[in-house]
Structure 1
Amino acid sequence: MPLVTSAEMFKKAYEGHYAVGAFNVNNMEIIQGIVEAAREEKSPLILQVSAGARKYANHIYLMKLVEAAIEDTGLPICLHLDHGEDFEICKACVDGGFTSVMIDGSKHPFEENIELTKRVVEYAHNKGVVVEAELGRLAGVEDAVKVNTKDATYTDPDQAVEFVERTGVDSLAIAIGTSHGAYKFKGNPELDFARLEKITKLLPGFPLVLHGASTVIPSFVEECNKYGGKLDGAQGVPEDMLLKAGTFGVCKINIDTDLRLAMTASIRKHLATNPADFDPRQYLKPAREAIKQMVAHKMRDVLNSSNRL
């Protein structure tokens, strides 16, 4: 089975009131853990690659790993570029075999964001590739994306309608209160469901996306801290809020930080309790299993995407 786009996934997710997980990948063990969870849960999935991951692992290596995952599992997998900052990287990923790309022009003024997004949409659609864009800015840090809290802005519903109509984009990442990274909220995390509901009503049937949607699972934070980490106070978006978002037209939820925490917590524990061990297989194997278990939990209990294939 070849790579697929997210178009059919999102149509089913919208109609079924659930979300598809988009999981960031950097190496073989992460990919293996994610796809094994998806196979067992019978869940659709998107594997996504940031510019940083592409630079770290090399485009061709990531492509071959994803192709191996498809051959091994038979799963319909969409390969997506996360936070493409300019036309050139989107073009490179389209030409290099990705089936979905994100052009993130959210740092630009509205008209410039539209112009940049339209250019990517026109190129990608001619190659059969779908495009995600972003309107509004999330606080936090993820690879090259760094936005101070004071610079974060929520998505304007009326602008969202105009943006989608003028660009022809296939999905839209919106800002309603999520954040990138292991963010330290002031007070309790909240999502603006009134804003989300308005956007959904103004764009009926159109797939929306939430970035920065890791929940920063407390057990992983505790495990990291127990073995030398410094993540006190880190928290993310409560899982019940993400589950609810899937009933409001959110068809794609991005998860990266929880993957990093699951892997790092497992590796820290193994090396601390087995100080003489220097075989990477011995600490990467449980790390891969930790990712698998965490992703399976997300698919069952947060995304509601299990048994949707």
Structure 2
Amino acid sequence: MALVSSTGLLNDARKNQYGIGAFNVHSLDMLYAVAEAAYEMRSPVIIQTTTGTVKQLGADVIAHNAKKASELYPVPIALHVDHCQEYSIILECIRAGYTSVMIDASMHPFDENVEKTLEVVKIAVPLEINVEAELGKVGGVEDEIVVEDKDAEKAIPEECVEFIRQTGVQTLAPAIGTAHGIYSGPPEIDFPRIEKIAQNVEVPLVLHGGSAIPAEEVKKCISLGMAKMNVSTELKNAYSAALQKHFEEDPKAFDPRSYFLKAKQEAKNIVKEKMELLESSGKQQFQRV
């Protein structure tokens, strides 16, 4: 099957109170690991790449392999560029075949965020490509974007309503107290804020900074209206740790087929774990090939 837009996936997830895992991949090996895990779990999935990964691997190469993965593993797979601040990169991804894009203009004043988001919406939505935007500022480090804790700002519910009205954006990532990266202490998630936003907007909400959030807090976020959870650092760390362990145990075992297989399996384990947590496993029917 072909790549799909994330719009329908996320609308169904919000309606039926489960979550879709969105996994940042940094290599083609990781891309196939996510697709394989989704197939084995009978789960829809969103494969994500950062702007840095697009620049390193190329949008065409990533999209070609994501399309091939969707043929090999026929579950609903969307391809998304995450936290993109560059209009030219978004256009490159759209032309290559991405089915979802995030324009992150959250560092700008509200009106400028609206203007930059609307630019992307006007191009992407007629092509049935999902558009995600952010309000507030999620702390931590995501690829080339660094937001210090002191600069993190939570989204204002009333602004979320007005932002969606003015832009028509289909997916919204409001800052609600999570952070990118692995937490040094328990995340301080603002559940009343999530609830108030969700009560006043119909679009699916996105939980950024999903790595290592306690399971019970993830479930509460989903029950309140979050439909998509981003996972990056936890997946990347598990993949890298498997490589490190391989060479610690056998420093002379240089066959890439051996150590990449181990890393790929660890990545799949993380993806499957998150799909179980989000209750997306078994949510989509598909035919074996």
TM norm structure 1:
0.89
The equivalent residue for 1:207 is 204
Query: Which secondary structure state, in structure 1, belongs to the residue aligned with residue 35 of structure 2?
Result: helix
1:17 aligns with 2:17: yes
Output the aligned Cα RMSD.
1.1
AA at the equivalent of 1:59: A
Distance 2:34 2:268 in 1: 5
Moved beyond 3 Å, runs of 4+: none
Distance 2:233 2:263 in 1: 14
Distance 1:22 1:265 in 2: 21
Query: Which secondary structure state, in structure 2, belongs to the residue aligned with residue 247 of structure 1?
Result: helix
Distance 2:59 2:6 in 1: 20
> Contact (CA 8 Å) 1:26, 1:56: kept in 2 or not?
no
Instruction: Tell me by how many angstroms 1:194 deviates.
Output: 0.4
- Alpha-carbon displacement from aligned partner over 1:17-72 (angstroms, at most 9, x marks no partner): 01100111122221222111111111110011111111122222211211221111
Unaligned runs of at least 5 residues, structure 1: 216-236
The equivalent residue for 1:70 is 70
AA at the equivalent of 1:264: S
Distance 1:303 1:270 in 2: 30
1:139 aligns with 2:139: yes
- Alpha-carbon displacement from aligned partner over 1:111-157 (angstroms, at most 9, x marks no partner): 10001001110011232212000001011011111000010000000
> Contact (CA 8 Å) 2:59, 2:92: kept in 1 or not?
no
1:189 aligns with 2:165: no
The equivalent residue for 1:250 is 226
- Structure 2 residue corresponding to 1:293, chosen from 244, 247, 269: 269
TM norm structure 2:
0.95
> Contact (CA 8 Å) 1:243, 1:304: kept in 2 or not?
no
Instruction: Tell me by how many angstroms 1:2 deviates.
Output: 1.5
1:61 aligns with 2:36: no
User: How do 1:216-255 residues align onto structure 2 when only pairs under 5 Å count?
Assistant: 237-255=213-231
Distance 2:49 2:28 in 1: 13
The equivalent residue for 1:260 is 236
AA at the equivalent of 1:53: T
Distance 1:272 1:298 in 2: 28
Which segment is superposed worse, 100-109 or 275-284? 275-284
The equivalent residue for 1:274 is 250
- Alpha-carbon displacement from aligned partner over 1:175-225 (angstroms, at most 9, x marks no partner): 11110112424xx3221100000001111x32000111111xxxxxxxxxx
Which segment is superposed worse, 115-124 or 52-61? 52-61
1:106 aligns with 2:106: yes
The equivalent residue for 1:166 is 166
Unaligned runs of at least 5 residues, structure 2: 285-289
Distance 1:142 1:87 in 2: 18
The equivalent residue for 1:305 is 280
> Contact (CA 8 Å) 1:103, 1:117: kept in 2 or not?
yes
Identity %: 42
Instruction: Tell me by how many angstroms 1:162 deviates.
Output: 0.3
- Alpha-carbon displacement from aligned partner over 1:59-107 (angstroms, at most 9, x marks no partner): 2221121122111111221111101103222122112211110000000
The equivalent residue for 1:80 is 80
> Contact (CA 8 Å) 2:25, 2:236: kept in 1 or not?
no
Distance 1:60 1:11 in 2: 28
